[in-house]
Amino acid sequence: MYDERFPGLRRRGFLAATSGAAALALVGCAGGTDDKADSASGTPKRGGRLRAAFAGGGASETLDPHLANLFADVARAKALFDKLADYGADLSAQPRLAEKWESNKTLDRWQVTLRQATFHDGKPVTAKDVLYSYRRIADPKQAFRAKASLEPVDLDASRATGERSIEFVLKRPTAEFPNVLAAFGAYIVPENATEFDDKPIGSGPFRFVSFAPGRSAVFRRNDDYWDGAPLLDEIEFVVANEESARVNALLGGQVEYAHELNPTTARAHESGGQIEIVRLRNSAMQAFCMKTDRAPFDDKRVREAFFLIADRQELVDGALSGAGEVGNDLFGKGYEYYAADLPQREQDLDKARALLKQAGAEKLKVTLDTSAVAAGFTEAAGIFRDQAAKAGVTIDVKMGSKDSYWSDILDNGTLCCYRSGAMPIEAHVSQRLLTDSTTNATKWQHKDFDALYQQAQSTRDKTERAAVYERMQRRLYAEGGFLIWGFADWIIGTGRTVRGVETKAPANTLDWARFDKVWLA
């Protein structure tokens, strides 16, 4: 039940065509060294103002961190607020406001100790603030995005056991409870705070200065930040929905950081020397989603045939302009618990044809739903149609509405384009692959698979847990409903003077859009 799914462009109808590949991270590279772009160039320097351009939500934008939906919302929220934990580059939870956490033997009670931190008004961050924040998010009358993530927590039974310690009572064993603390939008706000657009108070690295929805937000360094004061004096977030406008503003020196660029833009400027291109590699999952509960995909031989039809490199080159890496029908390449040992699947049209014949599905006709809702979708659909034709499968590509696409494809159709941003593998499973998952677009509903997930969540030992996750992934690899063909780069442009931009941080992880560590040379 984690929600860090690619919050990017969903409301940006007309921009979808120009917005960059749908993704975030860079996890693929094995080694974790020399993470900083330009880290070679000198010691960090204090001072200056950085202007960062994001695609935004227009006049409806808010600074309420619990309402965060778009990348711009999250970037602003993490400048002003903190979560108890946040995701590292491999999507494992790292302590933030929480100093440590400990569970009981049965993994259904967790003791969380807060570090010493203060809000911008000087008041300490206490257990009461945490419980208030979580209860606000879980309010049944509201529809905050993080509500589903907090579902395992029994907030009525959870209580403060001290000024800085909380006992969380869970509804069932949850070995990955720290993921809940790091969930998208689970920010800690001061007790009783309800109004955030006028002088919001957080505990984050920057203090509020001004905010004009859809235009600009200016924040100033918080010298008392518990994780060390930021190097920048000020950060200004500006909103530019057109990718070309963000690039132009960056080239013209009007901003120093432009989020979400197109692969073609990146290629054009990569060696130009005017700007730096940062590629956060390999984590926006790109897929076709087969509904396993209905014909023709209720036959696992047909699903396997489709796995074998895909020429993944051609899809990456064509639909992502080469800005990405091939997938192996498993979510979360490079993340904690990823089953990296399974052989890379390649196109095998003869075997695909044989499987279809066995399944009695020769001359198969399928409708593939797509939409301009995310970059590369319509291109991927066209390429896959041609690949399928070679195996004797006729694919009819159907364009859908951008603004309601995700809702339309959840229960309808048989085959559709799909993508996802970074989240822990456990969250991908709980959100999409369990019988009672809220967004189970492949209709993967198997009691024995559910049981494996519960087993993983009840397993204290990490190695044993990893073994259970591997079993789950082997099953998905063999007969799952997600044909995951690639992972797109997430592309950021920065000015020549910008230093300290983390290059190995998937979007929505701790180090992505983390401006307290950025500095200007």
Partner 1 sequence: MKRAPKGRGELRDLPPWRRTRQPAFRGTSFVARRLLLGAAQTVAVVLLVFALTEALPGDAAVALAGDQPDPARIAAIREAMDLDRPAYERLADWATGLLHGDFGTSLASGRPVTQYIADGFGPTLVLAALTLALLVPLGFGLGVLAARHEGRLVDRLVSSVTLAVYAVPEFALGVLLVTVLALKLAWLPPTAVGYGTDLLGHPAALVLPVLVLLSRPVCSLSRLVRAGMVDALASPYAAHAHRYGVPGARVRYAHALPNALAPAVQQLARTVDWLLCGVIVVEALFVIPGLGTVLLNAVAERDVPVVQGLAVVFGVLTVVLNLGADLVAHKLTPRAGVVA
**Nearest distance from C-beta of residue 243 to partner 1, angstroms:** 10
Per-residue contact string for residues 415-454; x = within reach of partner 1 by CB under 8 A? -----x-----------------xx---------------
Residue 358 interacts with partner 1 (CB under 8 A): yes or no: no
| Interaction mask 44-83, partner 1, x per CB under 8 A | -------x-x---xxxxxx------x--------------
Element housing 99 (H / E): strand 98-103
Q: Please, what is the minimum distance in Å from the beta carbon of residue 11 to partner 1?
A: 5
Give the number of residues in contact with partner 1, rule: CB under 8 A: 57
Nearer to partner 1, 252 or 343 (CB): 252
Stretch that binds partner 1, among 139-147, 159-167, 264-272, 382-390 (CB under 8 A): 139-147
CB closer to partner 1, 98 vs 182: 182
How is residue 336 written in tokens? 């904690």
Pick from 159, 152, 149, 156: nearest CA to 173 = 152
Residues 227-246 that bind partner 1 (CB under 8 A): 236, 238-242, 244-246
Q: Does 272 bind partner 1 (CB under 8 A)?
A: no
Q: What does the angle CA 312 – CA 314 – CA 320 come to, to the nearest 5 degrees? A: 90
User: What is the sign of the dihedral through the CA atoms of 53, 57, 58 and 64?
Assistant: negative
Q: Residue 92 carries which side chain, given as an amino acid letter? A: S
Q: How far is the CB of 436 from partner 1 (least distance, A)?
A: 11
Q: Is 143 in the site for partner 1 (CB under 8 A)?
A: yes
Give CA separation, 157 vs 98, 160, 517, in Å: 20, 10, 38
Contact flag: residue 3 with partner 1 (CB under 8 A)? yes
Q: How many CA atoms lie less than 13 Å away from 77 in the CB half-sphere?
A: 26
When asked if residue 14 is in the footprint of partner 1 (CB under 8 A), the reply is yes
Compute and round to an integer the Cα radius of gyration of the chain: 23
One residue of 97, 112, 148, 320 binding partner 1 per CB under 8 A: 148
- Regarding 266 and contact with partner 1 (CB under 8 A), the answer is no
**In the complex, what is the shortest distance from the CB of residue 141 to partner 1, in angstroms, rounded to a whole number?**
7
Select from 264, 380, 283 the least CA-distant residue to 332.
283
Q: Are 259 and 19 in contact (CB under 8 A)?
A: no
Report in angstroms how near the CB of residue 199 gets to partner 1 at its nearest.
17
**Using CA atoms, how far apart are residues 307 and 346, in angstroms rounded to an integer?**
8
CB 472 within 8 A of CB 260: no
Q: Is 13 in the site for partner 1 (CB under 8 A)?
A: yes
Which residue's CB is nearer to partner 1, number 3 or number 516? 3
Q: Are 187 and 133 in contact (CB under 8 A)?
A: yes
Minimum gap (Å) between residue 249 Cβ and partner 1: 5
Instruction: Compute the C-alpha angle 198/199/200, nearest 5°.
Output: 100
In the complex with partner 1, the residue whose CB is nearer, 10 or 504, is 10
Angle at CA of residue 186, ends 185 and 191, nearest 5°: 120
Which residue's CB is nearer to partner 1, number 38 or number 270?
A: 270
Contact predicate 50/205, CB 8 Å: no
Query: Residue 79 to residues 63, 197, 217, 227, 430: CA-CA distances in angstroms?
Result: 11, 14, 11, 12, 29
The residues of the shown chain that bind partner 1, judged by CB under 8 A, are 3, 5-7, 10-14, 51, 53, 57-62, 69, 140-143, 145, 147-148, 212-216, 236, 238-242, 244-246, 248-249, 251-252, 254-255, 400-404, 406-408, 410, 420, 438-439
